[in-house]
Structure 1
Amino acid sequence: MRTSSPARSTTVLAATVLALAALIPSTASAAHAAGPPPGKAPACATGQLCLWAKPEFKGTRQAHELSTLDINSCTALPAGTSAQSLINRIGRPVTTYQSAECAETGEFQTYPGDGVWLPESPYLVRAFKVWER
């Protein structure tokens, strides 16, 4: 019977975990810093959820404020529009949806409310929900 040392087992385990981690796509919380991207920061005031039609904060911008939103309710973007980048400075978690009805059968992702800067969504955002803290 062959045995291995604890140090060798730990090294093999760590290498395996690193290899597997490289295969798993990044999540929003790990991949997106709570601060502006390098260079010129796009305009999105504290207390706003800002969505842009194109990646890298380009194209038409929509700004939403907490005072005009229903908490825990689906807010669809205007018909025929979508967003591909966003900044969440609303102070609450926001879930974006591929579906205009906030259906969970399509893609969806929740972003914390502490200043998430998402230069490119993995799907077209057509609706969102703002959650209680």
Structure 2
Amino acid sequence: MGTTLPMTAAAALAAVLLTPVHAGAAAPPTSGDCAAGELCLWEQPEFKGHRQAYELSGIDIESCVALPEGSSAQALVNRTGRPVTAYQSAECAETGEFQTYPGSGTWAPQSPYRVRAFKVWER
């Protein structure tokens, strides 16, 4: 004597089991628009407030780029194709918090600290 699930429950279970799972991979959020080749920073979490966009053509690679004085960012998108390190310090000092984001397309809706500077790496 076997047990059968109602068709709707069986279909739901099959859908869950057949859905591919990618550890740590999530679809990019619908907000946080940032063009390919850009690093975009927002002053508020969840890609809200004033947005600043930087292109590789206007950045010295492997140099500290401070945000304009008095500004900071709490969300970022890296679509530069290169790793970017975001710093709590406006001088890219490693005595404060910092984190590197891959350039393959990284959406960070909430930084764990206020970003005041960044550095784009060659690779």
Q: TM-score range by the shorter chain?
A: 0.7 to 0.9
Aligned to 1:55: 45
Residue 108 (str. 1) matches residue 98 (str. 2)? yes
Aligned to 1:131: 121
Separation in 2 of the partners of 1:35 and 1:97?
Answer: 25
Using the size of structure 2 for normalisation, the TM-score is 0.78
Shift of 1:103: 0.2
Q: Say what the alpha-carbon RMSD is for the aligned residues.
A: 1.4
Residue 99 (str. 1) matches residue 89 (str. 2)? yes
Q: Which runs of 4+ in 1 moved over 4 A?
A: none
Q: Structure 1 vs Structure 2: percent identity of aligned residues?
A: 73
Any stretches of 5+ residues in structure 1 without a counterpart? 1-29
Using the size of structure 1 for normalisation, the TM-score is 0.72
Any stretches of 5+ residues in structure 2 without a counterpart? 1-22
Higher-Rg member (1/2): 2
Q: How many residues align?
A: 101
Is the alpha carbon distance of 1:59 and 1:103 closer, same or farther for their aligned partners in structure 2, counting shifts above 3 Å? same
**Larger relative helix fraction:** 1
Shift of 1:34: 6.7
Residue 36 (str. 1) matches residue 31 (str. 2)? no
